[in-house]
A and B are shown apart, each in its own frame.
Chain A
Amino acid sequence: DAKTTQPPSMDCAEGRAANLPCNHSTISGNEYVYWYRQIHSQGPQYIIHGLKNNETNEMASLIITEDRKSSTLILPHATLRDTAVYYCIASASAGNMLTFGGGTRLMVKP
């Protein structure tokens, strides 16, 4: 898996969009960008993934740069329950063993 780099922490106001960046400059052509989050003392939860195109689901949007060297996870209207550690992972498949980096600790504040 390609190495990913994320800021260790971010704050976001409740109701505002949370934009979480991730750098993956050495990502391979066959590697997807996966995002998981881990709420305190729980197992990781899948959020979204993408290869080249931007993706959106009910939880979030994923914007991947054209050169695929970075991406941004967008939570459009953050709530207090979105407070968690968010992990960006580059992998050829989510079925492979996943290498978790430090992640970004997002604190959503009222």
Chain B
Amino acid sequence: GAVVSQHPSWVICKSGTSVKIECRSLDFQATTMFWYRQFPKQSLMLMATSNEGSKATYEQGVEKDKFLINHASLTLSTLTVTSAHPEDSSFYICSARDLVGKGSPEQYFGPGTRLTVT
């Protein structure tokens, strides 16, 4: 089946620094990738929709200048958390939509990245 990877799987960074999270579709091309955030004991919340070759679309309340998204190729999207603060500590999950619609499931999720800001 289709596989989506994320790197790193976990990261600890100091407050004020930036951290980049990669999302890769390993065996399919994805024109669209989604970034979700999940706080402890809460559900996934969509942050932004990332389209290859164009600017990401951010959900209301998500700061585009703080969460930089780049989708430069059909297999890679990156999320950069700039000037991270402890409140940015969360579980970040990406998903990728298969370019060739094969029926469902058409969206495949990565394993997530646990970010801890100290």
B49 at the interface (CB under 8 A from A): yes
Number of A residues contacting the other chain (C-beta, 8 Å)? 23
| Complex CA–CA separation, A45 to B108 (angstroms) | 8
The answer to whether B43 touches A101 (Cβ under 8 A) is: yes
B101 at the interface (CB under 8 A from A): yes
Q: Which of B36, B44, B45 has the largest number of chain A CB atoms within 10 A?
A: B44
The answer to whether B111 touches A42 (Cβ under 8 A) is: yes
The interface residues of chain B lying within 8 Å CB-to-CB of A43 are: 4, 6, 93, 95, 109-112
B78-118 Cβ-contact flags toward A at 8 Å (1 or 0): 00000000000001010101100100111111111010000
Chain A interface SS verdict (over half): loop
Least Cβ–Cβ distance between B41 and chain A, in angstroms: 10
Chain B interface SS verdict (over half): strand
Neighbour of A97 across the interface among B6, B46, B98, B110, CB < 8 A: B46
B67 at the interface (CB under 8 A from A): no
The interface residues of chain B lying within 8 Å CB-to-CB of A42 are: 111-112
The interface residues of chain A lying within 8 Å CB-to-CB of B105 are: 34, 46, 49, 94
Beyond the given A43-B6, A43-B95, A103-B43, could you list 5 further A-B residue pairs with CB under 8 A, ordered by the A residue number? A44-B93, A44-B95, A95-B106, A95-B107, A98-B95
What are 29 A-B contacts with C-beta separation under 8 Å?
A: A32-B104, A34-B104, A41-B91, A41-B112, A42-B111, A42-B112, A43-B4, A43-B6, A43-B93, A43-B109, A43-B111, A43-B112, A44-B109, A46-B107, A93-B106, A94-B105, A94-B106, A94-B107, A95-B101, A95-B106, A95-B107, A97-B46, A97-B49, A98-B95, A99-B46, A100-B44, A100-B45, A101-B43, A102-B43
